[in-house]
Structure formats: structure tokens, C-alpha cells
Amino acid sequence: MIEPQSENLNLFCELNGIETPLNKERIKAGRNSEVWRLFNNKGQGILKNYYVKPGDPRDRLGTEFGFLSFLFDQGVLNVPRPIGKDAHFNRALYSYLPGDRPGKIEEWHITQAIDFIKSINQHRTNDAAQTLLPAAEACFSIKDHLDSAQRRIQRLLKIDPITEIESEVNSFVINRLIPTWENIRYQVEQDTGLKNHGEAINKSDRILSPSDFGFHNTLQNGDDLYFLDFEYAGWDDPAKLICDFTCQPELPVCKTQALQFMEEVATCFPNPESTRYRVQKLLPVHRLKWCCILLNEFNAEDRQRRLHAGLSEEGLLEQQFSKTEHYFDEHLFHYA
């Protein structure tokens, strides 16, 4: 664990109106960035050190800070308030939000999640919203959805199986994941028609999406939810948001809750029937994509990002493979 450099950090904080000296406490708040709670007798805040790799075009800092700035300007307040950013050190200061991850997901959690999606899209037609970029791996056509899953498969095939656990994963990918993917892709192509795969949804149908949206990225404080982690946020297909929300494995929702979320989110935007249709046809695609995401740690760069965020390496690969097999058996076995 590497603590933030005090001299540079103090200057950064003071320039952004935060009095020093500060105490620092590491928070295991995510799987991509390093998060610290900063506190003294004047108050507390959050320092986020973003993962960066030479050659990686993704600007996690700029995406999250810009999206949160837009939300605060529009009066959306149940998110971290952006205080200041430092592109040189790839870090940002945010307000501290109280609470803990939810336990059992209940109907009121779903209602607040729906209300949040409505609130961030209330001003999606204004000029400020038009300056926001597409979400990470945004999907604007059927082809985009299929390509997203295909890329995940291809990444897994590039892993050189050296250790025993890597060989087990390689066998799982080749003998179970790929045949299942071929069946799913074939069915989607038959149902939707190859001619229409590259046709993009209308711009009026696109939404502002937090991306990676689920209760794993929330804090519950009493009867209120706060929403976190916007490193992948931007414009996207509402069907992808709904599919990802339904498929998220860390704090999963049940079928009834997923249906409630889909129905109420779909009706917030133009062409709800088209959105429902895409969700119905593409949900297996995103189930398989999430199965691949659970194996991200087997890619050296992704594993390094997890370690940067504070995860322990001991038993990490075995744990992720066990989760993947369970997820596959629960959601994808009947497509094999």
C-alpha cells in the first residue's frame, strides 16, 4: 500500500479549499482505482487515484469528474461532489458520502435506482449534455452489442495458460464459453436479421448512462442511496444499461426487480417497445459478456488494475474462476 505523498497532497488539497494537515485511510471501494478517505477535525473528503497505463486511451479521471460536474450542475446531489482534479497525478478530490453497501436488495432500492436514471437524463437534451462523450464500450447497434462480447472472448483466448488454474480457465473458455457464445450469437442473428445489425438507434433514443450500474456501486445511509463510480459513464443504449443492471453479479437483482427496472426505465424514453425488444434479445449476450468480465483478472493488465485498487492477490484467480463457473451454470447453462 503506497500512501499519497503528503507534501504534494497537502498543496493539492489547500488549493481546493481543504484545510491541512489530513489523516489518510485506505478504502477498498472499487476494482479499478485507489480510494482514500481524508479527514481532520474540520471534516472529511475522498481522494481517488486513477489507474493509468501508458498507451491506454481511456481518461478515467476526465470521464468521472466531467460526468459528476454535469450532474451537480443539473441539481443531481446523491452522488459525490467533484471538488478538484489534478491531471498530472491522475487524481481527484470528492465529497465524502456516508453509508455502507446495501445488504438485501428490496423494492425501494430498485425505485431509487430508477429515479436516479430519470434524474440524470432529465436534462439530456441541453447543450452541456451534448459535450459528454459515449460511455465506455457504448453500444448503438445490435452489432455493437455482439462485438462487445466477441472482444471479451478474444481477450480470453490471448491468455497463455502457464499455471494449472490458467489451464483450467483456458479449457473452460474453449469447451464451454465459446460453444455457448456461438449458439447465442446465431440465435440473435436469426431473430434480429443480419441486415439490421449495423443500424444505429436514433440519437433521441440514447441516454446518459452511469455504466457499470448496480448496487455494488452504491452506499446506503438509512433510507437513502448514494451512487458512485462513473469512470465509464456517457451516452449509451438504454438496453445496454438495463442488461448490465440485470446481469451484474456482485449484488444481483432478482427477476422481478430486473423486470421492474426494465419496464420503468424503458418507458422514460422514446420507443420503449424497441428498448424492451433489444433487452429481450440481447440479455444472453450480456450474460456471457459478464461471464467474461469475471475472468478479467486472468489478463495481466486487468489484474494489475485490481491490485492498484487494493484487492489482495492471494487466491484471487481461483476465486474469480469459481464465481465464473457458478455464474455460467446459473445463467448460461441452457444456452450451451
pLDDT of 306: 47
Instruction: Assess if CATH 3.90.1200 describes domain 107-335.
Output: yes
Contact criterion met (CB below 8 Å) for 286 and 280: no
Judge whether residue 309 has pLDDT over 70: no
In this prediction, what percent of the chain has a pLDDT beyond 70? Answer: 92
CATH 3.30.200.20, the chain: domain bounds: 6-95
Band (pLDDT 50/70/90 cuts) for residue 4 is: low
* Statement: residue 279 has pLDDT above 50: yes
Identify the pLDDT of residue 284. Answer: 98
Question: Average pLDDT of the chain?
Answer: 91
Residues 10-37: tens digit of each pLDDT: 999 999 999 988 999 998 766 678 999 9
pLDDT tens digits, one per residue of 38-92: 999 999 999 999 988 766 778 999 999 999 999 999 999 999 999 999 999 999 9
Taking the model in full, what pTM does it have? Answer: 0.91
pLDDT tens-digit readout, 120-142: 999 999 999 999 999 999 999 99
| CATH of region 6-95, choose from 3.40.718.10, 3.40.50.2000, 3.40.50.10900, 3.30.200.20 | 3.30.200.20
Question: Which segment of 261-270, 283-292, 303-312 scores lowest on mean pLDDT?
Answer: 303-312
Mean pLDDT of 282-308: 81
State how far the alpha carbon of 169 is from the alpha carbons of 63, 190, 284, 326, in Å: 33, 30, 21, 13
pLDDT in tens, 179-220: 999 999 999 999 988 777 889 999 999 999 999 999 999 999
- Range(s) within the chain of domains with CATH label 3.90.1200: 107-335
Place of cell 499455471: 163
What gap in Å lies between CA 12 and CA 298, rounded to an integer?
Answer: 36
